[in-house]
Structure 1
Amino acid sequence: MKLLIVNHSCTVSVVQQFYAEIEQQTGWELTIVMPENWKDEYGIRRKIERWKDFRGQIISIPVWRSGSIPLHSYRSFFVNLLRKLNPDFIYLHQEPYALVTLQVYLANYFTIRKPISFFTWQNILKRYPIPFRQMERWILKHTDVMFPGSYSAEAVMREKGYTGQSVLMPSGIDPAIYYPRSNTLKTELGAQAVLIGYVGRIVEQKGLKTLLLALNEIRSLPWRLVMIGAGEYESEFDAIAQQLNLNDRIQKLGFVPFTETPNYLSAFDLLVLPSETRSSWKEQFGRVIIEAMACGTPVIGSDSGEIPHLITATKGGLVFPEGNAIALSQKLSELILNPELRSHYAATGRQAVLSHYTNALLAQRFAETVKNTVEFDPRSQRSRVQSFPSL
């Protein structure tokens, strides 16, 4: 079996770990196509590196509009590449409205016509302008299987008219990377206080103002906030913290490599994710939730997007109404004052993640779906006569 993956996220080597897991389980021949010149959200060009366990072929191709997830496109028609590789299945880790998705779908339509699929986090029903609306409609019509990251994302695609096969594919973790660790970070960060961790972008919609207001309500309790991440909201966050006289209880670490993040997640007594829904965004999953739980850390999250469903399913923490600082302060107090409850949520959450959210389990689900789709593909009997697809 030959599988072609097109995924800009694979410019971060650890993302390839999922595909390495598929290789190990199946023995299939995998090829990953990724941008040669991808820029991250900070405008820094990523260096292409191979994940240590991935054995397949990596093809890097220059792209236009580097850094734009929906608008970037490869400087290739993919026609010759598809003919050369002749994969049995094509997987795009891209939204159905993205230019790259149309680019590869069209190349497949005009050449090998093999089973093809996409991934989606799209959990808000949006009607895109022309021509993106027509592009998305055509993609949905010509998709063999869809991999939504959440049930709400699947519901959006159904509302948009997708009637085909759908297989849930949430984020997963590698237990060899994310596990409880014994280290000295707890002492370095503040052993006398309950460590509240935040890991993610420092942006307004992550609810960080609400977090500061909540912490101000419980300033008499023994807590310390540790922030990992960077973003455009930092100056405003600092100003609010200074106004509330909380600066001396907050430690900002900035960017931390993913290889070091599990050390901090293990050192935290609890993690908070106070995201707040906006008209064009709500939390799609909250990967840091399962990462923290895998490291033995309970979580407090808002009820934005997928967060409450994930915390409820894992039973690894508490949920509060988004934007409600008083409610968040109450949840924080509950865990700060009750170490036994923290331990309970930590144990329950970790077990749930290991049972349902590991890369190994998700890779098995993905591989079984691909195998069944290829084996029962009716196009093996179809005519190869082609016409221009109407958008």
Structure 2
Amino acid sequence: MKLLIVNHSCTVSVAQQFYAEIERQTGWEITIVVPENWKDEYGIQRKVQRWKDFRGDLISIPVWKSGSIPLHSYRSLFVNLLRELNPDFIYLHQEPYALVTLQVYLANYFTIRKPISFFTWQNIFKRYPIPFRQMERWVLQNTDVMFPGSYSAEAVMREKGYSGRSVLMPSGIDPAIYYPRSNTLKSELGTTDHEVLIGYVGRVVEQKGLKTLLCALNEIRSLPWRLAVVGTGEFDAEFDEIAQQLNLSDRIQKLGFVPFTETPNYLSAFDILVLPSETRANWKEQFGRVIIEAMACGTPVIGSDSGEIPHLINSTKGGLVFPEGDAIALSQRLGELIQNPELRSNYAETGKQSVLNNYTNSLLAQRFAETVKNTVEFDPRSQRSGVQSFPTP
């Protein structure tokens, strides 16, 4: 079996790990196409690197609109590449309305016409302007199977008219990277034995609910806690200003950007991870990958009810949920866990086991490979009239 993957995220080597796991399980030939000149969210151009365990071909092609996920396109028609590779299955890790999705779909349609698929996090119904609306509709009509990252993303595609096969493909973790670690980070962060270390990992932007977090911490200032913030973003200055106004600065440590290889050390050091995301008109939390990463590291989680967060926490039973934007409710959840180490321990163990049972790269790679195999063996274009729901993890 030969697979062609088109995924701009694979400019970061760790994103190739999932496909390396598919190789390991199946022995298939996998080719990944990535942008040669991709800029990350901070405007820094990434150097394409190979994941140590990925054996397949890694092809880098220059793109127009580097850094724009929906608008970038490759400086290639893909026609010659598809004819040369002649893959059995094509997977776009890209939304159906994106230019690159249409680009590869059209190349496939006018050449080899092999089974083709896309991935989506789109969890808010949006009616895009012309021509993106027509592009998305055509892609949905010519898709053999889709891989939504969440239940709400699947529902949006159904509402937009997709009636084909759909297989849930959420984020996953590698247990060899994300696991509970014994380290001295907690004390290095200035946390004493009787203090509870609360952690936040992610972009420091307004929609992540960090103002609500500060207000909640102000409500429980009499309790023994410290906060560590891993990440950076446009809300940094305002965050610092609010913390100073509330006289909380001396209990907060800003750590800035931390490489993903070091993140598990911090997640293991935290007594509680908090993800207080807040829905906006054009955004709500698509998944909350840091939730399963923290749980895998043995850390309980408190999250808002934005997007997929409540489903993730409730299904894993690895923490508590509060109404987004409600600082009082968040302070109550924090207080509950700060004052009850046994409850923290119970959530930590339950969440860790649930993640290991449902959200590992190995399990998800097996699900992906089985879907690909079935799609190739049984032409779904003759079965599109019957809507098939994805399996529950």
Q: TM-score of the superposition, structure 2-length normalised?
A: 0.96
Name the structure 2 match of 1:210. 212
Tell me if the contact between 2:144 and 2:381 (Cα under 8 Å) persists in the aligned partners: no
- 1:151-300 equivalent positions in 2, closer than 5 A: 151-189=151-189, 190-192=191-193, 193-300=195-302
Instruction: Return the match for 2:352 from 332, 350, 359.
Output: 350
Name the structure 2 match of 1:383. none
Letter paired with 1:149:
G
Deviation at 1:191, TM superposition (A): 3.1
Local SS of the residue matching 1:87: coil
1:46 to 2:42 alignment? no
Give the Cα separation in 2 of the matches to 1:379 and 1:79: 22
Name the structure 2 match of 1:309. 311
After superposition, give the CA deviation of every residue in 1:228-275 in whole Å (9 maximum; x if it has no partner): 001001011111001001100000000000000000000000100000
Letter paired with 1:261:
T
Name the structure 1 match of 2:387. none
Name the structure 1 match of 2:11. 11
Give the Cα separation in 2 of the matches to 1:68 and 1:295: 32
Name the structure 1 match of 2:139. 139
Deviation at 1:186, TM superposition (A): 1.4
Give the Cα separation in 1 of the matches to 2:42 and 2:103: 26
RMSD value, Cα = 0.9
1:117 to 2:114 alignment? no
Give the Cα separation in 1 of the matches to 2:114 and 2:285: 33
Give the Cα separation in 2 of the matches to 1:62 and 1:231: 28
Letter paired with 1:160:
K
Give the Cα separation in 1 of the matches to 2:108 and 2:249: 55
Name the structure 2 match of 1:108. 108
Give the Cα separation in 1 of the matches to 2:205 and 2:380: 47
Letter paired with 2:364:
L
Q: Would the alpha carbon gap of residues 269 and 80 (structure 1) be closer, same or farther in structure 2, given more than 3 Å must change?
A: same
After superposition, give the CA deviation of every residue in 1:133-169 in whole Å (9 maximum; x if it has no partner): 0000000000000000000000000000000000000
Deviation at 1:365, TM superposition (A): 0.2
Using the aligned pairs only, state the percent identity.
87
Give the Cα separation in 2 of the matches to 1:379 and 1:249: 59
Give the Cα separation in 1 of the matches to 2:182 and 2:39: 35
Give the Cα separation in 2 of the matches to 1:379 and 1:233: 47
Letter paired with 2:318:
G
1:70 to 2:70 alignment? yes
Local SS of the residue matching 2:3: strand
Deviation at 1:379, TM superposition (A): 7.4
Give the Cα separation in 1 of the matches to 2:66 and 2:192: 43
Give the Cα separation in 2 of the matches to 1:175 and 1:291: 9
Letter paired with 1:339:
P
5+ long unaligned stretches in structure 1: 381-391
Local SS of the residue matching 2:274: strand
Letter paired with 1:352:
S
Q: Would the alpha carbon gap of residues 379 and 351 (structure 1) be closer, same or farther in structure 2, given more than 3 Å must change?
A: closer
Deviation at 1:378, TM superposition (A): 6.6
After superposition, give the CA deviation of every residue in 1:273-304 in whole Å (9 maximum; x if it has no partner): 00000000000000000000000000000000
Give the Cα separation in 2 of the matches to 1:126 and 1:69: 16
Name the structure 2 match of 1:331. 333
Letter paired with 1:147:
F
